[in-house]
Structure 1
Amino acid sequence: MSDARKSDALLVVVTLLAAISWMFSKEAVLLMPPLLFMAARFLTAGGILALVALPALKRLTFDQARRALGVGLVFGIAMSCWVLGLFYSESLGEGAFLTSLGVVIVPIIARVIFKERQPMSTWLAIPIAVAGLALLSLENGFRPALGQLYFVAAACIFALYFNLNTRAANQRTVTDRRGNVIDKARVPTLPLTSLALLTVGLVTLSGSAISEPWLPTLNNLQPMMFVWVLASAVVGTAGRFLLQTYAQSLSAQSHGVVIL
């Protein structure tokens, strides 16, 4: 099996893990503030992966670490918008549709911002994917609301994150302003994922500390809250995004995002 086909197959598994993660997250935000949940989820997942990736983390160059942290920063902003959309939205179907549009936007971002050519099959698949997502998700029509605006913002930022993650996970050559050709070493999958997830955790923790009350949650800790956080961290975050980053490292082409 070629790397491109293997990448596509792994992204199918990532899609299934994402669906499971949605259910965990929806249950968790009923028991605790959304950004605090995201902070706990991503710091736990990132911490687990960082322990495993410690030797590889020590070998990263400054440029590799900077790019991994940049991926995490963009991802953190996207996840903050997403969980706020989840918190304010009454319809999971509409939220799923709008968030899924992010992966459809990925080839557009790649072409417009990074000047990457996309295969014709990708452009043909985009309208089909949008129509399919709409039919699957919008049973009762689309009703714009605050939650949906957060989902739209998340979708656009997710598209940028996916491109940055793909570029960080693959060896590539760039030309600087002086015309010099520079080789950009790929960031290995495990340290890239762990640094990105830890950065997301810090971004959402900062947002939570500024905007959310913690005392009601701390004074009323429930066992199921820990279950949902741990399930989200291990299955829906560490496993899912490690697998996704590995899949992206197998192919620099972004047509595989249509699978998501």
Structure 2
Amino acid sequence: MMGKSLQADLLMLLVTLLAAMGWMFSHEALSEMPPLGFIGVRFLLAGLLVGGLGWHQVRRLPPRAWRRAGATGVVMGLAMLCWILGLSKTDQLGVGAFISSLSVVLVPVLGWLFFRQKPTASTWLALLVATLGLGSLSLESGLSIAASDGYFAAAAVILALHFNLNSRYALSIPPVALTGIQLGVVGLIALLASGLSESWSASISWRGIGWLLASILIATSLRFFLQIKAQGMASASHAAIIMTLEPVWTALLAMLWLQEQMSLQQLFGCSLIFLSLLINRWRWLLHRPKPGA
């Protein structure tokens, strides 16, 4: 019989693939929907779906838990606004995925800046390697960062802050309830921003609706449900190591789906960023539980 640890590993591997597929679904949906409107509808409906499934948890939350879940949802919303704006402007989804993955490296750095949590030496080494990787990507366009890359970098910083806030303030909130509230808050923020700055097309084709539904059901609701389930079966460090594969899957899917190609310099920059993710998780790799544990 398959060990619990191996089951968790396979589920997290599937989560990273679903997250990468979300990049493709979103890219296709943006051909017919405004970016902020799309992310608003996607996250609000996903939040209602997840929150509905976990309604027994949601209705028991005290006011303090609602405030904390809502506040972390606002931070997550700002990150998602930056991410979708980057996605709407980029012609290199693979590169964008690696830049967004820098949030993993930045989590302990922001934990140190805001909460005085002392980072390890590997954190600073990972940050140095990640900076070199980002520098290599910026040199591709002559000492400048594309607007899309800037949005992805901003999303990475804000997501790292979101992770710290989640870890610090939301540990006592049931995960399904927390996920549903946060997704819903993201959706409301994005729809508000869309209403203030975007105009909607008179009609959306069934193809566009299909990509929207795939984003809601597969890349958001199913992904977060499986992620919560997998994280309940293994340690957070275990899950974090496997989550570093998301940009790799995204780059591969972009090559197969969109026929994207990276230059040698872009490949070098993305490789450095991936190396920084591994360095950041190195001490957990060394202490990985045995199979079947």
The alignment's C-alpha RMSD in Å is 3.3
Match of 2:109, as an amino acid? Answer: I
1:90-129 to 2 correspondences below 5 Å: 90-118=91-119
| Structure 1 residue 191 displacement after superposition | 0.4
Match of 1:141, as an amino acid? Answer: E
| Structure 1 residue 92 displacement after superposition | 1.5
User: What is the CA–CA distance in structure 2 between the aligned matches of 1:46 and 1:67, rounded to whole Å?
Assistant: 16
Is the contact between residue 81 and residue 154 of structure 1 (CA under 8 Å) also seen in structure 2? yes
| Structure 1 residue 199 displacement after superposition | 0.2
Identity of aligned residues (%): 42
Q: Give the one of 230, 233, 237 matched to 2:216.
A: 233
| Structure 1 residue 161 displacement after superposition | 1.2
Q: Give the one of 212, 218, 240 matched to 1:256.
A: 240
CA offset digits 1:131-158 (Å, max 9, x no partner): 78999xx6x9356222222111111101
Q: Give the one of 193, 196, 215 matched to 1:207.
A: 193
**Residue aligned with 2:54, SS:** helix
TM-score (norm 2): 0.70
| Structure 2 match to 1:28 | 29
Unpaired segments ≥5 residues, structure 1: 171-185
Is the contact between residue 69 and residue 199 of structure 1 (CA under 8 Å) also seen in structure 2? yes
| Structure 2 match to 1:71 | 72
Name the count of aligned residue pairs.
239
**Residue aligned with 1:31, SS:** coil
User: What is the CA–CA distance in structure 1 between the aligned matches of 2:88 and 2:183, rounded to whole Å?
Assistant: 21
Taking structure 1 as reference, are residues 258 and 103 closer, same or farther at Cα in structure 2, changes over 3 Å only?
farther
Alignment partner of 1:189 is 2:188: no
TM-score (norm 1): 0.78
| Structure 1 match to 2:84 | 83
User: What is the CA–CA distance in structure 2 between the aligned matches of 1:110 and 1:38, rounded to whole Å?
Assistant: 28
Is the contact between residue 231 and residue 239 of structure 2 (CA under 8 Å) also seen in structure 1? no
Unpaired segments ≥5 residues, structure 2: 245-293
| Structure 1 residue 61 displacement after superposition | 1.1
User: What is the CA–CA distance in structure 1 between the aligned matches of 2:27 and 2:42, rounded to whole Å?
Assistant: 13
Is the contact between residue 12 and residue 230 of structure 2 (CA under 8 Å) also seen in structure 1? yes
Is the contact between residue 169 and residue 248 of structure 1 (CA under 8 Å) also seen in structure 2? no
